[in-house]
Amino acid sequence: MIEVRNLYKRYHGPFGGDWVLKDLNFTIPDNTSVGILGRNGAGKSTLLRIIGGMDSPDKGQVISDSRISWPIGLGGGFQGSMTGRQNVKFVARIQGAGNRLPEIIQAVQEFAEIGKAFDQPVKTYSSGMRSRLAFGLSLAFNFDVYLSDEATAVGDAAFKEKAKKAFQERVGKASIIMVSHQVGMLKDLCQAGVWINNGTAIWFDNINDAINSYHKSIGK
């Protein structure tokens, strides 16, 4: 279970800043996959980073006893001067890979499909290559909850299908919290939805109801 309680977030500039997220309150039950919807800039990725522990709220908290991945579509957590292989080794050791280290490195290398770049510094990668590496690294571990930020929008058609299949294989074994503009993907993988609108979060037990409310708000 993941409980978002009285959560507020804003980004501070020289002249202050408006709240990106305001007084969010909802609970994600165990074994429930959730799609997060909202306009560009609504705070969807911000919420995902906070749930994953990569960012902190200004007020409120996220309470959970689940093992949660980092947002799969975000490759910003890598050390740029290190190669893809070195980054994978570093993260795997932090995650307690032990004797599984060679297996994890091979699995990430094969899934990411970035060829010789795997042994080049991550700072030379495109954003898509970083996302592929982050995607493969996340899937190498058994999390209770996987966070996905447009991860299935990365790469060519073959890689997108591979990404979708990887998520489908985890449905039932783990939960997914997914930010995506691909409505079909949300319908296929998620049961519930959260609509971020004007800084607030509205919970829907049915993903279709969340999608319909979002579409009405943008005139679709």
The 3-class SS string of the chain reads: CEEEEEEEEECCEECECCEEEEEEEEEECCCCCEEEECCCCCCHHHHHHHHCCCCCCCEEEEEECCCEEEECCCCCCCCCCCEHHHHHHHHHHHCCCHHHHHHHHHHHHHHHCCHHHHHCEHHHCCHHHHHHHHHHHHHCCCCCEEEEECHHHCCCHHHHHHHHHHHHHHECCEEEEEECCCHHHHHHHCCEEEEEECCEEEEECCHHHHHHHHHHHCCC
pLDDT of residue 73: 60
pLDDT number for residue 78: 87
Collect contacts of 152-157 with beta carbons under 8 A, ≥24 apart. Answer: 152/180, 152/182, 152/185, 153/73, 153/180, 153/181, 153/182, 154/73, 154/128, 155/113, 155/128
pLDDT score for 159: 77
- pLDDT of res. 5: 97
Q: What pTM, to 2 d.p., does this model score? A: 0.84
Q: How far is Cα 164 from Cα 169, in angstroms, rounded to an integer?
A: 9
Closest CA relative to residue 85, chosen from 47, 35, 121: 121
Residue 74 has a pLDDT of 58
Percent of the chain with pLDDT over 90: 60
Whole-number pLDDT of residue 28: 96
* Under-70 pLDDT residues of the chain: 13-16, 73-76, 151-156
- Intra-chain end-to-end CA distance of the chain, in Å: 33
Q: Quick one: pLDDT at residue 16? A: 60
Alpha-carbon distance 101 to 194, whole Å?
A: 36
Structure-block tokens of residue 96: 């307690």
Which residue shows structure tokens 């305001």? Answer: 22
- What is the per-residue pLDDT for 75? 57
Q: How high is the pLDDT of residue 25?
A: 97
pLDDT at residue 14 in the model: 66
